[in-house]
Protein backbone atom coordinates (compact mmCIF):
# COMPACT_ATOMS: atom_id res chain seq x y z
CA UNK A 1 0.00 0.00 0.00
CA UNK A 2 1.02 3.58 -0.57
CA UNK A 3 -1.03 6.13 1.33
CA UNK A 4 -1.30 9.68 0.04
CA UNK A 5 0.16 12.34 2.34
CA UNK A 6 -0.51 16.08 2.27
CA UNK A 7 2.08 18.75 1.61
CA UNK A 8 1.56 22.35 2.64
CA UNK A 9 4.68 23.29 0.65
CA UNK A 10 5.39 20.46 -1.81
CA UNK A 11 9.08 21.26 -2.45
CA UNK A 12 9.82 21.85 1.25
CA UNK A 13 8.22 18.50 2.16
CA UNK A 14 10.17 16.68 -0.54
CA UNK A 15 13.42 18.06 0.88
CA UNK A 16 12.33 16.98 4.38
CA UNK A 17 11.69 13.38 3.32
CA UNK A 18 14.89 13.21 1.29
CA UNK A 19 16.85 14.43 4.35
CA UNK A 20 15.25 11.69 6.45
CA UNK A 21 16.53 9.15 3.95
CA UNK A 22 13.43 8.15 2.03
CA UNK A 23 14.14 7.19 -1.58
CA UNK A 24 12.28 9.42 -4.05
CA UNK A 25 11.32 7.23 -7.01
CA UNK A 26 9.03 9.68 -8.82
CA UNK A 27 8.97 13.47 -8.88
CA UNK A 28 6.19 15.07 -10.85
CA UNK A 29 2.66 16.13 -10.00
CA UNK A 30 3.11 13.81 -7.02
CA UNK A 31 6.29 12.43 -5.45
CA UNK A 32 6.62 8.78 -4.54
CA UNK A 33 8.91 7.91 -1.65
CA UNK A 34 10.01 4.42 -0.62
CA UNK A 35 11.54 3.07 2.56
CA UNK A 36 12.19 -0.65 2.75
CA UNK A 37 9.09 -2.52 1.59
CA UNK A 38 6.76 0.44 2.14
CA UNK A 39 6.26 3.90 0.84
CA UNK A 40 3.88 6.80 0.34
CA UNK A 41 2.75 9.33 -2.25
CA UNK A 42 3.31 12.98 -1.38
CA UNK A 43 0.79 15.20 -3.08
CA UNK A 44 0.35 18.90 -3.78
CA UNK A 45 -2.66 19.06 -1.54
CA UNK A 46 -3.11 20.33 2.00
CA UNK A 47 -6.09 20.20 4.30
CA UNK A 48 -5.15 21.26 7.83
CA UNK A 49 -7.60 18.99 9.68
CA UNK A 50 -6.51 15.96 7.66
CA UNK A 51 -2.79 16.69 8.10
CA UNK A 52 -3.20 17.27 11.84
CA UNK A 53 -4.93 13.90 12.22
CA UNK A 54 -2.73 11.89 9.86
CA UNK A 55 -0.25 9.45 11.39
CA UNK A 56 2.23 7.10 9.79
CA UNK A 57 4.24 4.26 11.29
CA UNK A 58 7.73 3.33 10.15
CA UNK A 59 9.02 0.06 11.62
CA UNK A 60 12.82 -0.13 11.80
CA UNK A 61 15.30 -2.77 12.89
CA UNK A 62 17.56 -0.35 14.80
CA UNK A 63 15.73 2.59 16.36
CA UNK A 64 18.88 3.78 18.14
CA UNK A 65 20.60 4.25 14.76
CA UNK A 66 17.53 5.98 13.33
CA UNK A 67 17.36 8.30 16.32
CA UNK A 68 21.03 9.20 15.93
CA UNK A 69 20.33 10.01 12.26
CA UNK A 70 17.19 12.04 13.11
CA UNK A 71 19.05 14.08 15.74
CA UNK A 72 21.89 14.83 13.32
CA UNK A 73 19.47 16.40 10.82
CA UNK A 74 18.44 19.35 13.05
CA UNK A 75 14.93 19.06 11.59
CA UNK A 76 13.44 21.88 13.69
CA UNK A 77 16.03 24.38 12.54
CA UNK A 78 16.14 23.27 8.91
CA UNK A 79 12.45 22.61 8.28
CA UNK A 80 10.56 24.53 10.98
CA UNK A 81 8.96 21.39 12.44
CA UNK A 82 8.42 20.58 16.13
CA UNK A 83 11.46 18.98 17.77
CA UNK A 84 11.45 15.19 17.32
CA UNK A 85 10.72 13.22 20.50
CA UNK A 86 13.33 10.72 21.63
CA UNK A 87 12.55 7.01 21.70
CA UNK A 88 10.45 5.95 24.66
CA UNK A 89 8.63 2.76 25.55
CA UNK A 90 4.90 3.21 25.02
CA UNK A 91 2.16 1.58 27.15
CA UNK A 92 1.20 -0.63 24.20
CA UNK A 93 4.69 -2.19 24.15
CA UNK A 94 6.54 -0.45 21.33
CA UNK A 95 9.67 1.67 21.59
CA UNK A 96 8.84 4.76 19.51
CA UNK A 97 10.41 8.06 18.45
CA UNK A 98 8.09 10.75 17.09
CA UNK A 99 8.75 13.03 14.11
CA UNK A 100 6.35 15.61 12.64
CA UNK A 101 6.66 16.57 8.98
CA UNK A 102 6.24 20.13 7.61
CA UNK A 103 2.51 19.60 6.96
CA UNK A 104 1.86 18.29 10.49
CA UNK A 105 1.80 14.54 9.75
CA UNK A 106 2.95 12.61 12.84
CA UNK A 107 5.39 9.76 12.22
CA UNK A 108 5.83 6.94 14.72
CA UNK A 109 9.32 5.50 14.12
CA UNK A 110 9.11 2.20 15.99
CA UNK A 111 11.58 -0.54 16.89
CA UNK A 112 10.63 -3.97 15.50
CA UNK A 113 10.31 -6.62 18.19
CA UNK A 114 11.95 -10.02 17.81
CA UNK A 115 9.38 -12.69 17.09
CA UNK A 116 6.46 -10.27 16.60
CA UNK A 117 5.09 -11.17 13.15
CA UNK A 118 2.88 -8.10 13.08
CA UNK A 119 5.97 -5.83 13.34
CA UNK A 120 7.18 -6.86 9.87
Taking only the tens of pLDDT, the chain with its 120 residues reads 899 999 999 999 999 999 999 999 999 999 999 987 789 999 999 999 999 999 999 999 999 999 999 999 999 999 999 999 999 999 999 999 999 999 999 999 999 988 887 777
Q: Domains of the chain by range and CATH?
A: 4-119 (3.10.180.10)
Tell me the whole-structure pTM to 2 decimals.
0.94
Rounded to an integer, what distance in angstroms lies between the CA atom of residue 114 and that of residue 80?
35
Question: With contact defined as beta carbons under 8 Å apart, do 2 and 41 qualify?
Answer: yes
Environment class of 93 (CB within 10 Å of its CB; exposed 0-12, middle 13-18, buried 19+)? exposed
Question: With contact defined as beta carbons under 8 Å apart, do 107 and 100 qualify?
Answer: yes
Amino acid sequence: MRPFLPAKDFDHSKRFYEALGFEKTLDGEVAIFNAGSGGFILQRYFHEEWAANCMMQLMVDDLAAWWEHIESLELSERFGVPPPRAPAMQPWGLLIAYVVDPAGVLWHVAQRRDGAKHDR
